[in-house]
Amino acid sequence: MAFSTYVKSPEGRRVILGSGFLWAWIDCLFMSALFLNPGPRNVIAEFGMILTFSACSLVAMAFVFSNRRSLVARIQRKRVIALASLSGCLGSLAYIAAGMQPSPVLMALGGIGTGSFMGMVQILWGLVYCRDGARSAAPYVTGGFACAPFIDIPLLFMVPLARALFFSLLPLASGFLLASVLKQEKPKEANEDFDIPSSPGIRRFFHQHLGISSVLLFAVVLVMTCFGYLQHFISFDTLSNEGLQEGIVIQFMRGVTAIALFLTLELKPVLSSTIYRIGFLVMIAGVMTMPFSFGTSLFLVSGMLIIAGYTVFDLFIWVAFSHIARTQSKNALRTIAVIRLFASLCAAVGCGIALALSMMQESQGQLASQETTFVGYLVVIATVLLISSDESRVLLRNAQPPLPISAPSPEKTMEERLAQWGDEMHFTAREKEIAVLLAQGRTQPRIADMLGISENTVGTHVRHIYQKTEVHDRQQFIDLAFFITSPESREEGKRLTDSKLEG
């Protein structure tokens, strides 16, 4: 499908709006809008970012190391999404209270609440983004980025407390739309048919199971750590010394970049590879000019360049890992969780390093200039690694990489034909689900895990399916299902029948 097809569909609009609520809420945390009393030496906002991103990484880590195959189905339940959204809302309120009256307990509650929401919802939205790989991720992510500034606009006309309360409601809005999107179509749990060659050592887990190259992952680690460090200067330190107005200018630049990305890719999707390259160069330019702009009016320009380039980088990473999850990974959930784990943890570490260095020194000027010079070199190295990775070359070579389809899809999918056959056989709704999984070669223990029911229950349904279809074992059922659902087999059967009638 084309870029505009995803954007104009009813589901696409819900995805973009729901993503917009999420990104607006995260931008609020970045720009410290949830904290009501910014001022000199007030580091509560930075502690909040560290706590939130640390908790987010713990949630992602839980998904990475979970062995339950039915996890995707479980976390998509409305109750789970509602609890995560409520957690984000309550965590935001705890941060507001901590901003008015600093308290370690309130900060801890805020970090746990907001981090849990961020980890859970980002991973679920990631599963939605990767439905068609880069083709769906590009319009969904850019649409969400572009939508966020319009949600931010009311902030400019609100008093600080009203502004903070407004943002505390955004997790509920994003969660509601996420639940409505997942109700329409569930993301796939895993792509187990991929034959990914194994790699030795530590690369084996990432390559064999998740399709991720260590080069790409290391590049993300470098950039996110550097960006977490730079947040101290372009967001939190700016707010403390210059006030909210400077932060609004930087946030405005992110919004303009996001809208420009969306409009460009909507009108000329073939320019995506050019946009990515330009974005990387802009990010490098901002980082490399920052050491020379400390204490001058050009410092804000460096910050704006960094945030504009990072917005493009953020889009590229979402698109790259969505495409990997769809086309190369055996477990899409784990692939999305891995990148969220590393991105969140590295951002927290980078911010923590900047905060620690700033608290250890009286005057930040000269040393900060040296530090950002070093960070600039790291960003250059990360960009070179990013562009040199196999996944990046694919995305930079083609605007919309093709999905791995071996043959043109028929008018109806296999699942649709099996469902029609199930109606003819008078299968129950549960029997239809199990019949589809049986036809795909799933074993009864695996089906039990996927559906969250006992093996005995699965066995009972399988016996009923065999009785209704008059087969005696699993292989006979698979053969029959293939004959029933294969257009070629049905055409051949019809041709043989017609020839017998003519004879």
Do 375 and 349 share a domain, yes or no?
yes
Distance, CA of 305 to CA of 249 (rounded, Å): 12
CB atoms inside a 10 Å sphere around CB 278: 14
Q: So what's the pLDDT on residue 116?
A: 94
Do 492 and 370 share a domain, yes or no?
no
Q: So what's the pLDDT on residue 42?
A: 60
DSSP string, 255-316: HHHHHHHHHHHHH-GGGHHHHHHHHHHHHHHHHHHHHHHTTSTTHHHHHHHHHHHHHHHHHH
Do 170 and 255 share a domain, yes or no?
yes
Q: Which residues lie closer than 8 Å to 80 by C-beta, 6 or more apart? A: 74, 120
Do 468 and 366 share a domain, yes or no?
no
Contact criterion met (CB below 8 Å) for 383 and 283: yes
> Is 193 part of any domain?
no
Q: Which residue's structure tokens are 């790989």?
A: 133
Boundaries of domain holding 437:
414-502
Q: How far is CA 411 from CA 316, 403, 488, in A?
A: 33, 18, 13
CA angle 233, 238, 242 (to 5 degrees): 155
Do 328 and 465 share a domain, yes or no?
no
Do 321 and 432 share a domain, yes or no?
no
Distance, CA of 20 to CA of 7 (rounded, Å): 13
> Is 334 part of any domain?
yes
Q: Which residues lie closer than 8 Å to 148 by C-beta, 6 or more apart? A: 20, 21, 23, 24, 27, 255, 258
> Is 199 part of any domain?
no
CATH code for the domain in which residue 223 is found: 1.20.1250.20
Q: So what's the pLDDT on residue 48?
A: 85
Q: CA 177: distance to chain centroid?
A: 15
Q: So what's the pLDDT on residue 82?
A: 93
Q: Mean pLDDT in each 10-residue stretch from start to end of the chain (503 residues)?
A: 75 92 85 55 76 93 77 82 94 87 88 94 91 85 91 75 83 93 64 42 54 79 88 64 59 86 85 86 88 76 88 90 79 86 91 81 58 83 80 62 44 67 81 84 81 85 86 80 59 43 45
Q: So what's the pLDDT on residue 100?
A: 80
Structural domain ending residue among the three candidates 397, 426, 455: 397
Structural domain ending residue among the three candidates 336, 362, 397: 397
Distance, CA of 432 to CA of 109 (rounded, Å): 44
Burial class (CB in 10 A: 0-12, 13-18, 19+), 426: exposed
Number of domain units in the chain: 2
Q: So what's the pLDDT on residue 207?
A: 56
Distance, CA of 342 to CA of 321 (rounded, Å): 13
Q: So what's the pLDDT on residue 46?
A: 80
> Is 408 part of any domain?
no
CATH code for the domain in which residue 439 is found: 3.40.50.2300
Q: So what's the pLDDT on residue 20?
A: 93
Sign, CA torsion 205/211/213/219 = negative
Contact criterion met (CB below 8 Å) for 33 and 163: yes
Q: How far is CA 214 from CA 64, 330, 334, 440, in A?
A: 16, 17, 15, 32
Do 431 and 380 share a domain, yes or no?
no
Do 252 and 315 share a domain, yes or no?
yes
Q: So what's the pLDDT on residue 402?
A: 47
Structural domain ending residue among the three candidates 347, 364, 397: 397
Tokens of 232: 């101290």
Distance, CA of 321 to CA of 273 (rounded, Å): 16
Q: What is the pTM of this model?
A: 0.73
Q: So what's the pLDDT on residue 414?
A: 64
Distance, CA of 436 to CA of 260 (rounded, Å): 44
> Is 241 part of any domain?
yes
CB atoms inside a 10 Å sphere around CB 480: 15
Q: How many CA atoms lie within 13 A of 390 on its CB side?
A: 7
Phi, psi of 100 (to 5 degrees): -85, -35
Do 321 and 428 share a domain, yes or no?
no
Q: Taking each helix axis as running N to C, give the angle between helix 10-30 and helix 104-129, from 0 to 180 degrees, rounded to the nearest 10.
A: 150
Tokens of 239: 């707010």
Do 61 and 32 share a domain, yes or no?
yes
> Is 202 part of any domain?
no
> Is 233 part of any domain?
yes
Do 441 and 360 share a domain, yes or no?
no
What length does the chain have? Answer: 503
Do 146 and 280 share a domain, yes or no?
yes
> Is 404 part of any domain?
no
